[in-house]
């Protein structure tokens, strides 16, 4: 496959400073709403990047579950690869790749754990199957086989029949408090539109970046 001459123009929209709100969380809410209206596949799906103790970066896709002026929330196993990374270095990057509408959003910030109460409340709001899977999966660890996972799932399902699934102590949420948020809109002739919000105390500085 030869990708050398693969080209396409980005002509679906423009982004000007006059289009932007003062607060990037409000701008993100506007774009997220539009992503659903324009039927983007899985708008809350985001790539998150962390760094391990040796400075090696790692990326994976998780689902955004809540956002507001306080930050961006997702849930995972604290014992997973990303959980161990964040224990050592809470700096994190989020990326929303809305290719079909020629938009991207990048978030840089620091991840902090949610309270046990908030994590448990969300855990028990999930479908029972999702609760069971989170409880039996040693996320990021080597497992013997798919059959072993399914057997553990079935065993826990049976042992907790008629009762709630206990939330594992190693499972919970993170809130990412942003220090920078960038909005990218594709432009003709590769003159893409990029605006970066940078936190300055209680306010945000907005700057246009070169494509």
Active site residues: 190
Angle (nearest 5°) at CA 54 between 49 and 57: 20
3 state SS of 189: helix
In 3D, which of 154, 151, 155, 156 has the Cα closest to residue 167? 156
C-alpha torsion sign, points 64, 171, 166, 141: positive
Alpha carbons 95 and 61: distance in angstroms, whole number: 9
Structure tokens at 187: 């432009």
């Amino acid at each position: 496959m030869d990708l050398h001459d693969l080209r396409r123009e980005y002509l679906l929209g423009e982004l000007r400073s006059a289009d932007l709100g003062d607060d990037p969380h409000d701008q993100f809410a506007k774009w997220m709403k539009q992503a659903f209206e324009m039927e983007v596949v899985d708008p809350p799906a985001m790539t998150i990047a962390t760094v391990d103790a040796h400075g090696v970066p790692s990326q994976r896709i998780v689902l955004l579950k809540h956002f507001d002026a306080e930050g961006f929330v997702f849930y995972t196993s604290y014992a997973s690869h990303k959980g161990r990374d964040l224990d050592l270095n809470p700096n994190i990057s989020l990326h929303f790749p809305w290719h079909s509408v020629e938009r991207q959003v990048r978030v840089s910030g620091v991840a902090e754990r949610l309270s046990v109460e908030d994590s448990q409340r969300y855990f028990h709001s999930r479908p029972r199957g999702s609760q069971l899977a989170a409880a039996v999966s040693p996320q990021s660890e080597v497992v013997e086989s798919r059959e072993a996972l399914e057997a553990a799932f079935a065993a826990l399902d049976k042992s907790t029949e008629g009762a709630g699934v206990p939330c594992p102590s190693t499972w919970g949420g993170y809130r990412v408090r942003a220090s920078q948020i960038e909005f990218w809109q594709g432009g003709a002739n590769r003159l893409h539109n990029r605006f970066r919000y940078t936190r300055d105390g209680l306010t945000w500085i907005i700057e246009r970046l070169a494509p």
